[in-house]
Chains A and B, each alone.
Chain A
Protein backbone atom coordinates (compact mmCIF):
# COMPACT_ATOMS: atom_id res chain seq x y z
CA UNK A 1 0.00 0.00 0.00
CA UNK A 2 3.05 2.20 0.07
CA UNK A 3 2.47 3.82 -3.29
CA UNK A 4 -1.13 4.70 -2.57
CA UNK A 5 -0.20 6.26 0.72
CA UNK A 6 2.48 8.29 -0.98
CA UNK A 7 -0.05 9.58 -3.46
CA UNK A 8 -2.50 10.40 -0.68
CA UNK A 9 0.25 12.26 1.11
CA UNK A 10 0.93 14.35 -1.95
CA UNK A 11 -2.77 14.94 -2.34
CA UNK A 12 -2.93 16.19 1.25
CA UNK A 13 0.06 18.47 0.76
CA UNK A 14 -1.59 19.94 -2.28
CA UNK A 15 -4.74 20.77 -0.32
CA UNK A 16 -2.66 22.19 2.50
CA UNK A 17 -0.63 24.36 0.15
CA UNK A 18 -3.67 26.54 -0.40
CA UNK A 19 -3.51 29.76 1.59
CA UNK A 20 -6.06 30.15 4.32
CA UNK A 21 -8.22 33.27 4.16
CA UNK A 22 -7.81 33.79 7.94
CA UNK A 23 -9.95 36.88 8.35
CA UNK A 24 -12.71 35.73 6.07
CA UNK A 25 -12.85 32.43 7.93
CA UNK A 26 -13.24 34.21 11.26
CA UNK A 27 -15.93 36.35 9.69
CA UNK A 28 -17.74 33.25 8.42
CA UNK A 29 -17.61 31.73 11.92
CA UNK A 30 -18.98 34.93 13.45
CA UNK A 31 -21.75 35.16 10.90
CA UNK A 32 -22.69 31.55 11.44
CA UNK A 33 -22.68 32.10 15.17
CA UNK A 34 -25.00 35.11 14.90
CA UNK A 35 -27.29 33.22 12.57
CA UNK A 36 -27.41 30.31 15.01
CA UNK A 37 -28.14 32.66 17.90
CA UNK A 38 -31.05 34.22 16.08
CA UNK A 39 -32.41 30.79 15.21
CA UNK A 40 -32.13 29.62 18.79
CA UNK A 41 -33.76 32.76 20.09
CA UNK A 42 -36.66 32.31 17.73
CA UNK A 43 -37.11 28.89 19.21
CA UNK A 44 -36.72 29.85 22.83
CA UNK A 45 -38.82 32.97 22.83
CA UNK A 46 -41.80 31.60 21.09
CA UNK A 47 -43.56 34.92 21.46
CA UNK A 48 -40.81 37.33 20.51
CA UNK A 49 -38.14 36.86 17.92
CA UNK A 50 -36.36 39.93 16.77
CA UNK A 51 -37.90 43.31 17.06
CA UNK A 52 -36.99 46.38 15.21
CA UNK A 53 -35.73 49.05 17.53
CA UNK A 54 -38.31 51.75 17.47
CA UNK A 55 -36.90 55.16 18.05
CA UNK A 56 -38.04 56.69 21.30
CA UNK A 57 -40.29 53.85 22.28
CA UNK A 58 -40.09 51.48 25.20
CA UNK A 59 -40.83 47.85 24.74
CA UNK A 60 -42.18 45.36 27.13
CA UNK A 61 -41.70 41.73 26.26
CA UNK A 62 -43.73 38.96 27.66
CA UNK A 63 -44.21 35.28 27.19
CA UNK A 64 -47.70 33.95 27.32
CA UNK A 65 -48.29 30.32 26.68
CA UNK A 66 -51.86 29.60 27.69
CA UNK A 67 -54.87 31.09 26.02
CA UNK A 68 -57.60 32.66 28.09
CA UNK A 69 -60.45 34.53 26.48
CA UNK A 70 -63.87 35.66 27.61
CA UNK A 71 -66.97 33.82 26.38
CA UNK A 72 -68.15 37.00 24.64
CA UNK A 73 -64.90 37.21 22.74
CA UNK A 74 -64.94 33.54 21.86
CA UNK A 75 -68.43 34.04 20.50
CA UNK A 76 -67.44 37.05 18.42
CA UNK A 77 -64.51 35.35 16.77
CA UNK A 78 -66.32 32.08 16.06
CA UNK A 79 -67.87 33.70 13.00
CA UNK A 80 -64.58 34.94 11.54
CA UNK A 81 -62.51 32.27 9.78
CA UNK A 82 -58.82 31.82 10.53
CA UNK A 83 -58.86 33.72 13.80
CA UNK A 84 -57.20 31.13 16.03
CA UNK A 85 -53.69 32.46 15.70
CA UNK A 86 -54.81 36.05 15.93
CA UNK A 87 -56.48 35.16 19.19
CA UNK A 88 -53.16 33.81 20.35
CA UNK A 89 -51.47 37.08 19.44
CA UNK A 90 -53.90 39.28 21.35
CA UNK A 91 -54.77 37.06 24.27
CA UNK A 92 -53.09 39.52 26.59
CA UNK A 93 -54.76 42.56 25.05
CA UNK A 94 -58.31 43.09 26.23
CA UNK A 95 -58.69 46.27 24.19
CA UNK A 96 -58.09 44.58 20.85
CA UNK A 97 -60.35 41.72 21.92
CA UNK A 98 -63.09 44.25 22.70
CA UNK A 99 -62.58 45.82 19.28
CA UNK A 100 -63.12 42.45 17.58
CA UNK A 101 -66.15 41.70 19.78
CA UNK A 102 -67.62 45.00 18.67
CA UNK A 103 -67.10 44.31 14.96
CA UNK A 104 -64.28 46.79 14.74
CA UNK A 105 -62.13 44.21 12.92
CA UNK A 106 -61.92 44.03 9.14
CA UNK A 107 -60.90 40.68 7.63
CA UNK A 108 -58.80 41.17 4.49
CA UNK A 109 -56.90 38.03 3.40
CA UNK A 110 -54.65 39.31 0.60
CA UNK A 111 -51.47 37.46 -0.28
CA UNK A 112 -48.33 38.39 -2.18
CA UNK A 113 -44.97 36.67 -2.35
CA UNK A 114 -41.40 36.78 -3.53
CA UNK A 115 -39.40 33.72 -4.42
CA UNK A 116 -38.82 32.88 -0.78
CA UNK A 117 -41.22 34.86 1.37
CA UNK A 118 -44.98 34.81 1.36
CA UNK A 119 -47.04 37.32 3.35
CA UNK A 120 -50.80 37.23 3.92
CA UNK A 121 -52.56 40.25 5.38
CA UNK A 122 -55.29 38.70 7.51
CA UNK A 123 -57.10 41.70 8.85
CA UNK A 124 -56.88 45.11 10.49
CA UNK A 125 -58.10 47.15 13.45
CA UNK A 126 -57.91 50.93 13.23
CA UNK A 127 -58.15 54.05 15.33
CA UNK A 128 -57.91 57.66 14.16
CA UNK A 129 -54.33 57.61 12.87
CA UNK A 130 -53.02 54.10 13.52
CA UNK A 131 -53.77 50.61 12.43
CA UNK A 132 -52.90 47.16 13.68
CA UNK A 133 -52.38 44.66 10.85
CA UNK A 134 -52.38 40.92 11.57
CA UNK A 135 -50.44 38.98 8.97
CA UNK A 136 -48.68 35.68 8.46
CA UNK A 137 -45.17 35.42 7.07
CA UNK A 138 -43.97 32.17 5.54
CA UNK A 139 -40.40 31.44 4.59
CA UNK A 140 -40.38 28.76 1.95
CA UNK A 141 -36.90 27.59 2.72
CA UNK A 142 -35.89 27.02 6.30
CA UNK A 143 -32.43 28.48 6.34
CA UNK A 144 -32.96 31.23 3.86
CA UNK A 145 -31.27 34.53 4.72
CA UNK A 146 -34.27 36.65 3.71
CA UNK A 147 -35.85 38.63 6.52
CA UNK A 148 -38.28 41.52 6.93
CA UNK A 149 -36.49 44.85 7.00
CA UNK A 150 -39.47 47.14 7.41
CA UNK A 151 -43.12 47.79 6.68
CA UNK A 152 -44.71 50.86 5.06
CA UNK A 153 -48.21 52.03 4.25
CA UNK A 154 -48.34 53.62 0.79
CA UNK A 155 -51.09 55.42 -1.06
CA UNK A 156 -51.84 54.42 -4.65
CA UNK A 157 -49.27 56.94 -5.91
CA UNK A 158 -46.60 55.21 -3.87
CA UNK A 159 -46.27 57.96 -1.24
CA UNK A 160 -45.18 56.70 2.15
CA UNK A 161 -47.78 57.58 4.78
CA UNK A 162 -46.17 55.78 7.74
CA UNK A 163 -44.82 57.66 10.73
CA UNK A 164 -44.02 54.99 13.33
CA UNK A 165 -43.78 51.28 12.78
CA UNK A 166 -43.52 48.47 15.31
CA UNK A 167 -44.11 44.77 15.01
CA UNK A 168 -43.68 41.48 16.76
CA UNK A 169 -43.46 37.89 15.57
CA UNK A 170 -45.06 34.79 16.86
CA UNK A 171 -43.32 31.79 15.37
CA UNK A 172 -45.24 28.62 14.75
CA UNK A 173 -44.49 25.96 17.31
CA UNK A 174 -43.48 23.26 14.89
CA UNK A 175 -42.83 24.67 11.50
CA UNK A 176 -40.46 27.53 12.32
CA UNK A 177 -40.96 28.75 8.81
CA UNK A 178 -44.27 30.48 9.44
CA UNK A 179 -44.98 33.25 11.87
CA UNK A 180 -48.04 35.23 12.76
CA UNK A 181 -47.09 38.86 13.16
CA UNK A 182 -48.79 41.89 14.55
CA UNK A 183 -47.78 45.18 13.10
CA UNK A 184 -48.78 48.58 14.35
CA UNK A 185 -48.31 51.53 12.04
CA UNK A 186 -49.04 55.10 12.96
CA UNK A 187 -49.71 57.26 9.91
CA UNK A 188 -48.82 60.90 9.57
CA UNK A 189 -52.51 61.80 9.03
CA UNK A 190 -55.95 60.35 9.82
CA UNK A 191 -56.52 56.93 8.25
CA UNK A 192 -57.52 57.55 4.61
CA UNK A 193 -60.61 55.90 3.14
CA UNK A 194 -58.90 55.52 -0.26
CA UNK A 195 -57.16 52.32 -1.44
CA UNK A 196 -53.85 51.70 0.35
CA UNK A 197 -50.94 49.31 0.06
CA UNK A 198 -49.14 47.57 2.90
CA UNK A 199 -45.58 47.15 1.67
CA UNK A 200 -43.34 44.53 3.28
CA UNK A 201 -39.68 45.21 2.56
CA UNK A 202 -37.41 42.18 2.37
CA UNK A 203 -33.64 42.10 2.70
CA UNK A 204 -31.05 39.36 2.96
CA UNK A 205 -28.08 41.16 4.46
CA UNK A 206 -28.26 41.50 8.19
CA UNK A 207 -25.32 43.90 8.10
CA UNK A 208 -26.69 46.53 5.77
CA UNK A 209 -30.44 45.95 6.04
CA UNK A 210 -30.63 46.91 2.40
CA UNK A 211 -34.08 46.42 0.88
CA UNK A 212 -33.80 43.90 -1.95
CA UNK A 213 -37.42 43.04 -2.68
CA UNK A 214 -40.84 44.06 -1.57
CA UNK A 215 -44.24 42.55 -1.17
CA UNK A 216 -47.36 44.64 -1.85
CA UNK A 217 -50.65 43.95 -0.16
CA UNK A 218 -53.48 46.22 -1.39
CA UNK A 219 -56.41 46.94 0.93
CA UNK A 220 -58.97 49.59 1.71
CA UNK A 221 -60.15 50.54 5.19
CA UNK A 222 -63.88 49.94 5.56
CA UNK A 223 -64.12 50.17 9.33
CA UNK A 224 -66.15 53.07 10.69
CA UNK A 225 -63.96 56.06 11.51
CA UNK A 226 -63.57 56.39 15.26
CA UNK A 227 -63.07 59.40 17.47
CA UNK A 228 -60.78 59.13 20.48
CA UNK A 229 -62.06 60.34 23.83
CA UNK A 230 -59.83 62.80 25.61
CA UNK A 231 -59.77 63.67 29.33
CA UNK A 232 -57.75 66.55 30.79
CA UNK A 233 -56.61 65.52 34.29
CA UNK A 234 -53.65 67.67 35.47
CA UNK A 235 -53.39 66.12 38.92
CA UNK A 236 -50.20 65.96 40.92
CA UNK A 237 -49.32 63.03 43.22
CA UNK A 238 -46.28 62.12 45.34
CA UNK A 239 -44.81 58.62 45.68
CA UNK A 240 -41.78 58.06 47.93
CA UNK A 241 -40.88 61.75 47.67
CA UNK A 242 -41.09 61.78 43.88
CA UNK A 243 -43.56 64.18 42.32
CA UNK A 244 -45.63 62.96 39.37
CA UNK A 245 -48.27 64.82 37.37
CA UNK A 246 -50.94 62.95 35.41
CA UNK A 247 -51.68 65.34 32.53
CA UNK A 248 -54.26 63.74 30.26
CA UNK A 249 -55.76 60.46 29.11
CA UNK A 250 -56.81 59.57 25.56
CA UNK A 251 -58.92 56.50 24.89
CA UNK A 252 -58.96 54.96 21.39
CA UNK A 253 -59.87 51.51 20.05
CA UNK A 254 -56.25 50.29 19.88
CA UNK A 255 -55.06 51.63 23.20
CA UNK A 256 -55.46 54.16 25.98
CA UNK A 257 -52.67 56.73 26.29
CA UNK A 258 -51.80 58.32 29.64
CA UNK A 259 -49.49 61.35 29.52
CA UNK A 260 -47.37 61.74 32.64
CA UNK A 261 -44.87 64.39 33.69
CA UNK A 262 -42.24 63.80 36.36
CA UNK A 263 -40.88 66.84 38.21
CA UNK A 264 -37.33 67.63 37.03
CA UNK A 265 -36.19 68.00 40.67
CA UNK A 266 -37.07 64.36 41.50
CA UNK A 267 -34.04 62.45 42.80
CA UNK A 268 -35.11 59.27 41.07
CA UNK A 269 -35.58 58.48 37.43
CA UNK A 270 -39.07 57.04 37.05
CA UNK A 271 -38.85 54.32 34.41
CA UNK A 272 -42.44 53.30 34.47
CA UNK A 273 -45.53 52.16 36.23
CA UNK A 274 -45.64 48.53 37.11
CA UNK A 275 -49.35 48.42 37.66
CA UNK A 276 -50.84 51.52 36.03
CA UNK A 277 -54.47 50.63 35.38
CA UNK A 278 -57.93 51.95 34.69
CA UNK A 279 -60.77 50.70 36.86
CA UNK A 280 -64.47 51.22 36.24
CA UNK A 281 -67.32 51.41 38.79
CA UNK A 282 -67.84 47.65 38.66
CA UNK A 283 -64.20 46.97 39.41
CA UNK A 284 -63.24 45.86 35.89
CA UNK A 285 -59.57 46.57 35.25
CA UNK A 286 -57.57 47.53 32.14
CA UNK A 287 -53.82 47.16 32.56
CA UNK A 288 -50.83 48.19 30.49
CA UNK A 289 -49.89 46.78 27.08
CA UNK A 290 -48.25 43.46 27.91
CA UNK A 291 -46.47 42.77 24.69
CA UNK A 292 -45.29 45.57 22.49
CA UNK A 293 -44.76 49.26 22.99
CA UNK A 294 -45.99 50.24 26.40
CA UNK A 295 -44.61 53.76 26.60
CA UNK A 296 -43.26 56.47 24.36
CA UNK A 297 -41.09 59.49 24.98
CA UNK A 298 -42.01 63.01 24.07
CA UNK A 299 -39.67 65.87 23.23
CA UNK A 300 -39.66 66.80 26.91
CA UNK A 301 -37.51 64.19 28.69
CA UNK A 302 -39.69 64.43 31.81
CA UNK A 303 -42.87 63.67 29.93
CA UNK A 304 -43.79 60.20 28.79
CA UNK A 305 -46.89 58.59 27.37
CA UNK A 306 -47.91 55.23 28.79
CA UNK A 307 -50.19 52.85 26.94
CA UNK A 308 -52.92 50.74 28.47
CA UNK A 309 -55.24 48.20 26.93
CA UNK A 310 -58.19 50.07 25.53
CA UNK A 311 -61.56 50.31 27.26
CA UNK A 312 -62.98 52.25 24.30
CA UNK A 313 -65.72 49.75 23.54
CA UNK A 314 -66.86 49.47 27.14
CA UNK A 315 -69.47 51.95 28.32
CA UNK A 316 -68.93 53.25 31.83
CA UNK A 317 -69.97 56.30 33.82
CA UNK A 318 -67.16 56.19 36.33
CA UNK A 319 -63.48 55.60 35.60
CA UNK A 320 -60.41 55.76 37.85
CA UNK A 321 -56.69 55.65 37.16
CA UNK A 322 -54.76 53.69 39.80
CA UNK A 323 -51.18 52.66 40.52
CA UNK A 324 -49.11 51.35 43.42
CA UNK A 325 -45.67 50.36 42.17
CA UNK A 326 -43.22 52.36 40.12
CA UNK A 327 -39.99 51.24 38.56
CA UNK A 328 -37.47 53.86 39.65
CA UNK A 329 -33.75 54.25 40.24
CA UNK A 330 -31.58 57.08 41.64
CA UNK A 331 -30.80 59.38 38.75
CA UNK A 332 -27.06 59.22 39.38
CA UNK A 333 -27.13 55.44 39.01
CA UNK A 334 -29.32 55.26 35.95
CA UNK A 335 -26.60 54.88 33.30
CA UNK A 336 -24.69 51.90 32.02
CA UNK A 337 -21.19 52.77 30.79
CA UNK A 338 -19.30 50.18 28.78
CA UNK A 339 -16.11 49.87 26.79
CA UNK A 340 -16.61 47.80 23.65
CA UNK A 341 -12.87 47.35 23.05
CA UNK A 342 -11.99 45.90 26.43
CA UNK A 343 -15.47 44.37 26.90
CA UNK A 344 -15.63 46.04 30.30
CA UNK A 345 -18.61 47.34 32.19
CA UNK A 346 -17.23 50.63 33.43
CA UNK A 347 -20.23 51.88 35.41
CA UNK A 348 -23.58 50.44 36.35
CA UNK A 349 -26.20 50.66 39.12
CA UNK A 350 -24.94 49.80 42.63
CA UNK A 351 -26.48 46.36 42.82
CA UNK A 352 -24.58 45.35 39.67
CA UNK A 353 -27.12 43.30 37.80
CA UNK A 354 -25.37 43.70 34.44
CA UNK A 355 -22.67 41.19 33.54
CA UNK A 356 -20.97 39.24 30.76
CA UNK A 357 -20.50 41.96 28.20
CA UNK A 358 -19.29 40.34 24.99
CA UNK A 359 -18.63 41.82 21.58
CA UNK A 360 -18.73 39.94 18.30
CA UNK A 361 -17.93 42.48 15.67
CA UNK A 362 -20.66 45.08 16.00
CA UNK A 363 -22.91 42.76 17.90
CA UNK A 364 -23.04 43.29 21.64
CA UNK A 365 -24.31 40.74 24.16
CA UNK A 366 -24.99 41.60 27.78
CA UNK A 367 -26.78 39.85 30.60
CA UNK A 368 -29.08 41.48 33.14
CA UNK A 369 -30.21 39.69 36.26
CA UNK A 370 -33.91 40.45 36.43
CA UNK A 371 -36.63 39.33 38.76
CA UNK A 372 -39.63 37.17 38.13
CA UNK A 373 -41.73 38.71 35.34
CA UNK A 374 -39.14 41.32 34.51
CA UNK A 375 -39.30 41.63 30.74
CA UNK A 376 -38.23 45.20 30.10
CA UNK A 377 -35.69 46.37 27.59
CA UNK A 378 -33.38 48.82 29.35
CA UNK A 379 -31.81 50.21 26.19
CA UNK A 380 -32.69 52.91 23.71
CA UNK A 381 -30.62 55.77 22.28
CA UNK A 382 -27.03 55.79 23.55
CA UNK A 383 -24.02 58.08 23.35
CA UNK A 384 -20.31 57.76 22.76
CA UNK A 385 -17.63 59.47 24.88
CA UNK A 386 -17.93 62.61 22.82
CA UNK A 387 -21.69 62.78 23.14
CA UNK A 388 -22.43 61.48 19.67
CA UNK A 389 -25.95 60.06 19.55
CA UNK A 390 -26.16 56.44 18.44
CA UNK A 391 -28.99 54.04 17.71
CA UNK A 392 -28.93 50.30 17.55
CA UNK A 393 -30.23 48.87 14.30
CA UNK A 394 -31.90 45.95 15.93
CA UNK A 395 -31.76 43.89 19.03
CA UNK A 396 -32.67 40.53 20.40
CA UNK A 397 -33.82 39.27 23.74
CA UNK A 398 -34.26 35.98 25.42
CA UNK A 399 -34.60 34.91 28.98
CA UNK A 400 -32.51 31.99 30.13
CA UNK A 401 -32.56 30.23 33.48
CA UNK A 402 -32.22 32.01 36.82
CA UNK A 403 -34.08 35.12 35.69
CA UNK A 404 -31.18 36.18 33.51
CA UNK A 405 -32.20 38.40 30.63
CA UNK A 406 -29.91 38.18 27.62
CA UNK A 407 -29.88 41.25 25.46
CA UNK A 408 -28.23 41.55 22.09
CA UNK A 409 -27.76 44.85 20.33
CA UNK A 410 -26.21 45.58 17.00
CA UNK A 411 -24.18 48.77 17.20
CA UNK A 412 -24.37 51.08 14.19
CA UNK A 413 -21.51 50.75 11.75
CA UNK A 414 -20.09 54.23 12.39
CA UNK A 415 -17.01 55.50 14.15
CA UNK A 416 -17.40 56.12 17.85
CA UNK A 417 -15.20 56.76 20.85
CA UNK A 418 -15.30 54.53 23.91
CA UNK A 419 -16.75 54.37 26.50
CA UNK A 420 -20.40 54.23 25.46
CA UNK A 421 -23.11 55.64 27.73
CA UNK A 422 -26.48 53.94 27.79
CA UNK A 423 -29.08 55.92 29.75
CA UNK A 424 -31.21 53.17 31.26
CA UNK A 425 -34.91 53.00 30.54
CA UNK A 426 -35.77 50.14 32.83
CA UNK A 427 -34.13 48.34 35.72
CA UNK A 428 -35.50 45.97 38.35
CA UNK A 429 -35.67 48.56 41.18
CA UNK A 430 -38.97 49.85 42.59
CA UNK A 431 -40.79 52.38 44.82
CA UNK A 432 -44.30 51.95 46.25
CA UNK A 433 -47.37 54.11 46.94
CA UNK A 434 -51.13 54.08 46.62
CA UNK A 435 -52.65 56.41 44.04
CA UNK A 436 -56.23 56.70 42.79
CA UNK A 437 -57.33 59.50 40.43
CA UNK A 438 -60.85 60.08 39.16
CA UNK A 439 -61.05 60.27 35.35
CA UNK A 440 -64.82 60.68 35.15
Chain B
Protein backbone atom coordinates (compact mmCIF):
# COMPACT_ATOMS: atom_id res chain seq x y z
CA UNK B 1 0.00 0.00 0.00
CA UNK B 2 1.40 3.39 -0.95
CA UNK B 3 1.26 6.38 1.34
CA UNK B 4 -1.58 7.92 -0.62
CA UNK B 5 -3.65 4.75 -0.56
CA UNK B 6 -3.21 4.62 3.18
CA UNK B 7 -4.36 8.22 3.58
CA UNK B 8 -7.32 7.63 1.28
CA UNK B 9 -8.38 4.65 3.38
CA UNK B 10 -8.05 6.74 6.52
CA UNK B 11 -10.20 9.48 4.97
CA UNK B 12 -12.86 6.89 4.14
CA UNK B 13 -13.02 5.94 7.83
CA UNK B 14 -10.66 2.98 8.08
CA UNK B 15 -9.49 3.12 11.70
CA UNK B 16 -6.44 0.91 11.18
CA UNK B 17 -5.27 3.09 8.31
CA UNK B 18 -5.74 6.18 10.44
CA UNK B 19 -3.70 4.70 13.28
CA UNK B 20 -0.96 3.71 10.86
CA UNK B 21 -0.93 7.20 9.37
CA UNK B 22 -0.54 8.73 12.83
CA UNK B 23 2.17 6.27 13.69
CA UNK B 24 4.10 6.98 10.49
CA UNK B 25 4.04 10.70 11.19
CA UNK B 26 4.61 10.54 14.90
CA UNK B 27 8.22 11.64 14.70
CA UNK B 28 7.49 14.78 12.70
CA UNK B 29 4.57 15.58 14.98
CA UNK B 30 6.52 14.97 18.13
CA UNK B 31 9.45 17.11 16.96
CA UNK B 32 7.06 19.91 16.13
CA UNK B 33 5.41 19.70 19.54
CA UNK B 34 8.78 19.58 21.21
CA UNK B 35 10.00 22.62 19.29
CA UNK B 36 6.98 24.56 20.49
CA UNK B 37 6.41 23.25 23.98
CA UNK B 38 9.97 22.39 25.02
CA UNK B 39 9.23 19.34 27.13
CA UNK B 40 8.31 15.72 26.68
CA UNK B 41 5.18 15.63 28.84
CA UNK B 42 3.49 18.54 27.10
CA UNK B 43 4.54 17.20 23.71
CA UNK B 44 2.97 13.81 24.46
CA UNK B 45 -0.20 15.46 25.62
CA UNK B 46 -0.26 17.44 22.39
CA UNK B 47 0.21 14.22 20.45
CA UNK B 48 -2.92 12.79 22.09
CA UNK B 49 -4.95 15.92 21.43
CA UNK B 50 -3.81 16.16 17.84
CA UNK B 51 -4.82 12.52 17.31
CA UNK B 52 -8.32 13.43 18.49
CA UNK B 53 -8.49 16.48 16.21
CA UNK B 54 -7.07 14.64 13.22
CA UNK B 55 -9.57 11.79 13.62
CA UNK B 56 -12.44 14.24 13.80
CA UNK B 57 -11.28 16.18 10.77
CA UNK B 58 -9.69 13.65 8.48
CA UNK B 59 -12.83 13.46 6.36
CA UNK B 60 -12.22 17.08 5.41
CA UNK B 61 -8.69 16.44 4.11
CA UNK B 62 -9.01 17.09 0.38
CA UNK B 63 -5.42 16.44 -0.69
CA UNK B 64 -4.21 13.06 0.56
CA UNK B 65 -0.71 13.73 -0.79
CA UNK B 66 -0.28 16.47 1.82
CA UNK B 67 -1.45 14.47 4.82
CA UNK B 68 1.85 15.01 6.62
CA UNK B 69 1.79 18.79 6.18
CA UNK B 70 -1.85 18.78 7.17
CA UNK B 71 -1.04 16.92 10.40
CA UNK B 72 1.92 19.17 11.18
CA UNK B 73 -0.27 22.22 10.73
CA UNK B 74 -2.86 20.82 13.13
CA UNK B 75 -0.04 20.26 15.59
CA UNK B 76 1.36 23.75 15.15
CA UNK B 77 -2.03 25.36 15.59
CA UNK B 78 -2.70 23.26 18.65
CA UNK B 79 0.67 24.12 20.20
CA UNK B 80 0.14 27.77 19.45
CA UNK B 81 -3.22 27.58 21.24
CA UNK B 82 -1.61 25.88 24.21
CA UNK B 83 1.07 28.54 24.45
CA UNK B 84 -1.40 31.34 24.02
CA UNK B 85 -3.55 29.93 26.80
CA UNK B 86 -0.54 29.79 29.06
CA UNK B 87 0.02 33.45 28.13
CA UNK B 88 3.74 33.26 28.54
CA UNK B 89 6.69 31.96 26.67
CA UNK B 90 7.54 28.50 27.81
CA UNK B 91 11.10 29.08 26.71
CA UNK B 92 11.78 31.49 29.55
CA UNK B 93 10.86 29.01 32.24
CA UNK B 94 12.04 25.80 30.75
CA UNK B 95 15.27 26.93 29.20
CA UNK B 96 17.21 25.19 31.95
CA UNK B 97 15.76 21.84 30.99
CA UNK B 98 16.89 22.14 27.42
CA UNK B 99 20.43 20.93 27.52
CA UNK B 100 21.57 20.09 24.06
CA UNK B 101 24.50 18.29 22.60
CA UNK B 102 26.06 21.26 20.90
CA UNK B 103 28.45 23.49 22.77
CA UNK B 104 27.53 26.68 21.05
CA UNK B 105 24.35 28.61 21.60
CA UNK B 106 22.97 28.38 18.09
CA UNK B 107 19.83 26.60 19.20
CA UNK B 108 19.01 29.22 21.81
CA UNK B 109 19.88 31.96 19.42
CA UNK B 110 17.46 30.61 16.79
CA UNK B 111 14.76 30.07 19.40
CA UNK B 112 15.18 33.63 20.63
CA UNK B 113 14.99 34.98 17.10
CA UNK B 114 11.94 32.81 16.23
CA UNK B 115 10.05 34.42 19.10
CA UNK B 116 10.08 37.65 17.16
CA UNK B 117 8.31 36.26 14.12
CA UNK B 118 4.58 36.30 13.68
CA UNK B 119 2.94 32.91 14.22
CA UNK B 120 2.24 32.67 10.50
CA UNK B 121 5.89 33.22 9.59
CA UNK B 122 7.08 30.97 12.36
CA UNK B 123 4.94 28.13 10.98
CA UNK B 124 6.48 28.72 7.60
CA UNK B 125 9.99 28.43 9.04
CA UNK B 126 9.03 25.24 10.83
CA UNK B 127 7.62 23.67 7.69
CA UNK B 128 10.63 24.61 5.60
CA UNK B 129 13.54 24.27 7.97
CA UNK B 130 12.38 21.72 10.53
CA UNK B 131 10.41 19.45 8.24
CA UNK B 132 12.30 20.14 4.99
CA UNK B 133 9.11 20.60 3.01
CA UNK B 134 9.28 21.92 -0.53
CA UNK B 135 8.06 25.45 -1.09
CA UNK B 136 5.69 24.12 -3.74
CA UNK B 137 4.10 21.72 -1.24
CA UNK B 138 3.69 24.43 1.36
CA UNK B 139 2.12 26.65 -1.29
CA UNK B 140 -0.31 23.93 -2.44
CA UNK B 141 -1.25 22.96 1.06
CA UNK B 142 -1.91 26.48 2.25
CA UNK B 143 -3.52 27.54 -1.05
CA UNK B 144 -0.98 30.37 -1.41
CA UNK B 145 0.89 31.22 -4.63
CA UNK B 146 4.40 29.81 -4.63
CA UNK B 147 5.91 33.27 -5.11
CA UNK B 148 4.13 34.56 -2.02
CA UNK B 149 5.45 31.71 0.08
CA UNK B 150 8.94 32.35 -1.20
CA UNK B 151 8.76 36.06 -0.45
CA UNK B 152 7.36 35.52 3.02
CA UNK B 153 9.98 32.95 3.81
CA UNK B 154 12.73 35.22 2.55
CA UNK B 155 11.44 38.06 4.73
CA UNK B 156 11.14 35.78 7.74
CA UNK B 157 14.70 34.59 7.40
CA UNK B 158 15.82 38.17 6.94
CA UNK B 159 14.08 39.09 10.18
CA UNK B 160 15.89 36.23 11.87
CA UNK B 161 19.17 37.62 10.58
CA UNK B 162 18.58 41.01 12.11
CA UNK B 163 18.19 39.27 15.45
CA UNK B 164 21.25 37.11 14.92
CA UNK B 165 23.15 40.29 14.31
CA UNK B 166 21.81 41.81 17.46
CA UNK B 167 19.87 44.48 15.63
CA UNK B 168 16.47 43.37 16.86
CA UNK B 169 14.71 45.99 18.91
CA UNK B 170 13.52 44.81 22.27
CA UNK B 171 9.75 44.64 22.50
CA UNK B 172 9.35 44.73 18.77
CA UNK B 173 7.32 41.58 18.27
Contacts and interface: CB of A to CB of B under 8 A. Distances in A.
A32 B58 CA distance: 14
Name, among A10, A11, A20, the residue most crowded by chain B CB atoms within 10 Å (CB to CB): A11
Contact of B164 (A4, A15, A30): A4
Contacts of A35: 48, 51-52
A315 interface: no
Contacts, number: 114
Nearest to B131: A12
A8 interface: yes
Contacts of B35: 15
A25 B110 CA distance: 27
B15 A33 contact: yes
Given A14-B102, A29-B19, A36 B164 contact: no
A358 B18 CA distance: 13
A14 B55 CA distance: 30
B32 to A, nearest CB: 9
Interface string B43-55: 0110111111001
Interface residues of B, number: 41
Contacts of A20: 26-27, 30
Nearest to B102: A14
Contacts of B158: 1
Contacts of B104: 10
Contact of B111 (A11, A30, A40): A11
A32 B31 contact: no
Contacts of A29: 19, 22-23, 26, 47-48, 51
A31 B31 CA distance: 19
A178 interface: no
A7 interface: yes
B139 interface: no
Contact of B40 (A15, A16, A21, A360): A21
Query: When A and B form their complex, which 6 residue pairs have the shortest distance between CB atoms, in order from nearest?
Result: A32-B51, A36-B55, A11-B110, A32-B48, A28-B47, A14-B107
Interface of A: 1, 3-5, 7-18, 20-21, 24-26, 28-33, 35-37, 39-40, 143, 358, 360, 365
